[in-house]
Each structure stands twice: as structure tokens, then as C-alpha cells.
Amino acid sequence: MGLLEDLTNLLGGSRTESDVAKDKQEAVDEAAKLDLEGLQSLIKKVMEMISSKTGELNGLQAQLKDLNPMDLLGEKGSNLKEQVSGLLSVVSTLKTKLGVYQDALKDKQ
């Protein structure tokens, strides 16, 4: 299990198998509508989004790390943890869909 999955589970942002299956099916349906060029463009956009969200996540994690124990247990820490959890969920969803898009691209090539 990687760091992303560990953090997701620790912060309560883990996605169920049903969520993952739904994301995969949405990606399969979307990929089926696109031609080769459209898939390549979509993959590029998703990779950029993952990179952007990962940057945001790193910033939030740095803020969490800098909190004193009282703030970490208080509202400030709770808000940051909630934001991290949300971003982890978004990144996980994007990675799931990216895998489907990449497989579809291989099939169309």
C-alpha cells in the first residue's frame, strides 16, 4: 500500500469498492466515446489535474506538520484534515480513471 492510500485510510477518505467500480465504469463509458486524439488529450488533462491536486495536497500536509499539538487536535487541524481527505479522494478517483483511459488508449492504438 502506498503513501497516498495510507493517508487516505488514516484520514477516513478511503473509497469503497463500489466507488472505484463506479469511477471505472464512468471512465470506460467516456473513453468509448473518444477517438485516439481525444483520449490522448484527456489523459494529458487528467495527469495535469493529478499533478495540481498533489501539489495542493503537499501544501496542506506541510501546514498540518507545522501545527502544534493543540491546533492539530482543534478546529484548525480538523479543517486541514478534512481538506486533505477530500483531495486524497479526488486524486484517487483521477488515478483510477487515468488507468482506464490509458488502457483504452492502448486498445485503440
Q: How far is C-alpha 37 from the geometric centre of its chain's CA atoms?
A: 24
pLDDT tier at 13 (50, 70, 90 boundaries)? low
Q: How far apart are CA 4 and CA 56, in angstroms?
A: 13
Q: Which parts of 1-109 fold into alpha helices (H)? A: 3-10, 17-32, 36-66, 69-73, 75-108
pTM of the complete model: 0.79
Higher-confidence residue of 47 and 69: namely: 47
Buried b (16+ CB within 10 A) or exposed e, 75-85: eebeebbebbb
Query: What is residue 72's predicted lDDT score, i.e. its pLDDT?
Result: 86
Give me the amino acid identity at 92.
Answer: S
What are 24-63's pLDDT values in tens digits? 999 999 999 999 999 999 999 999 999 999 999 999 989 9
